[in-house]
């Protein structure tokens, strides 16, 4: 009887550890101090189809009366979004890691924390992580009352690999 009691007690004590191990989510594999902002959750499927690799989204503002949507977007190494444009423009503020930004017809810009990219309305562009670094930026949606994304084709591996 004593033996059964100690086995049951051991299982009871270790159960939270076992359950935590079974319920570990994607957060365990993410960089811990990439930026002061949360990494967030994997992109919803409706957006992830426009990315090569895995990206994460953490909305930071929630008060719709302020009308300034800001999210932290985090890209795993090598992750980038498709070419796209925004009818209302966008501002990117780099807060962690290293990445790329490129406008159609122009050379790519290497990005690091502290860089700010102002993207005028309807400018076709893409952005994402370098091949060997996580990358995190705040995305500020400009003119949200009419800002819509137009998603285009992917940045090919050849285009991306030429940046190294």
pLDDT digits (tens, 9 = 90+) for 13-34: 443 333 333 333 455 678 888 9
Domain that holds residue 139: 2-161
Q: Which CATH number characterizes residue 29's domain?
A: 2.60.120.10
| Each residue's pLDDT tens digit, 105-163 | 999 999 999 999 999 999 999 999 999 999 999 999 999 999 999 999 999 999 999 99
* Total structural domains within the chain: 1
Report the pLDDT value the prediction gives residue 3, as an integer from 0 to 100. Answer: 45
Angle, CA of 163, 93 and 28, to the nearest 5°: 80
Two tokens at 48? 């992830």
With a cut of 70, say whether residue 94 has pLDDT above it.
yes
The pTM score is 0.82
What percent of the chain has pLDDT above 90?
77
Give strand pairing partners of 24: none
How much is the mean pLDDT over the chain? 87
**DSSP string computed for 63-108:** -TTT---EEEEEE-TT-EEPSEEETT-EEEEEEEE-EEEEETTS--
Q: pLDDT value at position 19?
A: 34
Asked if 12 and 6 count as a contact pair (C-beta separation under 8 A), the reply is no
Residues 6 or more apart whose CB falls under 8 angstroms from that of 22 comprise none
């Amino acid at each position: 009887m004593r033996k059964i009691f100690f086995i049951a007690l051991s299982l009871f004590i270790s159960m939270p550890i076992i359950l935590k191990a079974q319920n570990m989510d994607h957060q365990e594999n993410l960089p811990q101090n990439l930026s002061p902002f949360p990494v967030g959750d994997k992109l919803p499927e409706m957006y992830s189809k426009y990315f090569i690799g895995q990206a994460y989204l953490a909305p930071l503002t929630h008060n719709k009366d302020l009308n300034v949507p800001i999210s932290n977007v985090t890209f795993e190494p090598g992750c980038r979004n498709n070419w796209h444009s925004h009818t209302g423009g966008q501002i990117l503020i780099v807060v962690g890691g290293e990445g790329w930004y490129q406008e159609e017809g122009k050379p790519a810009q290497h990005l690091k924390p502290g860089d700010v990219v102002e993207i005028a309305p309807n400018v076709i562009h893409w952005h994402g992580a370098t091949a060997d670094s996580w990358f995190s930026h705040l995305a500020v949606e400009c003119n949200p009352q009419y800002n819509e994304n137009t998603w285009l084709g992917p940045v090919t591996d050849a285009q991306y690999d030429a940046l190294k």
